[in-house]
Chains A and B, each alone.
Chain A
């Protein structure tokens, strides 16, 4: 069973992301983190196959978490999809340049997840 790490400071949003992703019927377990620091901890404790990552969070933002893990060889190829309200093109470019595998703008939908997941090896 693959582990999906959902990182968002909003518990409601983590539930929505979980439920929307579940509608794809991909067998997986969900692990949650409320900020980038927690996400680093979860990553070190579990074998994670995919990260669904918010941008704006306290303590350690999603973009800073992303930059940190991409500097670690063991996470160089870990699929990370940004799931964020940051819709400006310069934000999308920054995330992709920082190593995001793909980008979903909130609010999320089954359609957006389906499209993005179909492009990655998961």
Chain B
């Protein structure tokens, strides 16, 4: 599982720098249980199929989602609207698609369209109960944070 982490960290840093113009600091990844409570307001999910199965998720607080959308659209957003959902969905799409390059020696992947879920304590359906979920925390804009969650294992 750990060998899959590096491509995602590298891609996440590149995407945020090149697409949003923000520098990230990746923090120490750790395993989570899907039943764990979380603090996030919005998550964008992409399913992974093909020679591996799993999902990659970006989760963040509403304030950060609005800030990122403002940056991408050069307009101000006061609440989560269709543009915010679009922005966060597109970000995870670009992360997942780019990460495929770093994983291509290991397996061929197919990525789904993104799904965005929101609300305090929203839940995410992970494709496989047995696959461990790794959380990669990132710091952005000095004090704000978001997480990239990854569950992936080779198909049998």
Contact = CB atoms under 8 A, between A and B. Distances in A.
Contacts of A58: 113
B89 A85 contact: no
Interface residues of A, number: 22
Tell which of A57, A58, A90, A107 has the most Cβ of chain B within 10 Å: A107
A27 B2 CA distance: 49
Given A12-B72, A15-B73, A107-B18, 17 more contacts: A12-B73, A13-B90, A56-B111, A56-B113, A84-B97, A85-B95, A85-B97, A86-B97, A87-B97, A88-B104, A88-B109, A89-B104, A90-B104, A105-B97, A106-B94, A107-B19, A107-B94
Contacts of B18: 107, 109
A10 B86 contact: yes
A interface secondary structure, majority: loop
How large, as a class, is the contact surface on chain B? 20 to 34
B133 interface: no
Per DSSP, chain B at the interface is helix
Interface of A: 9-13, 15-16, 56-58, 84-91, 105-107, 109
A57 B86 CA distance: 13
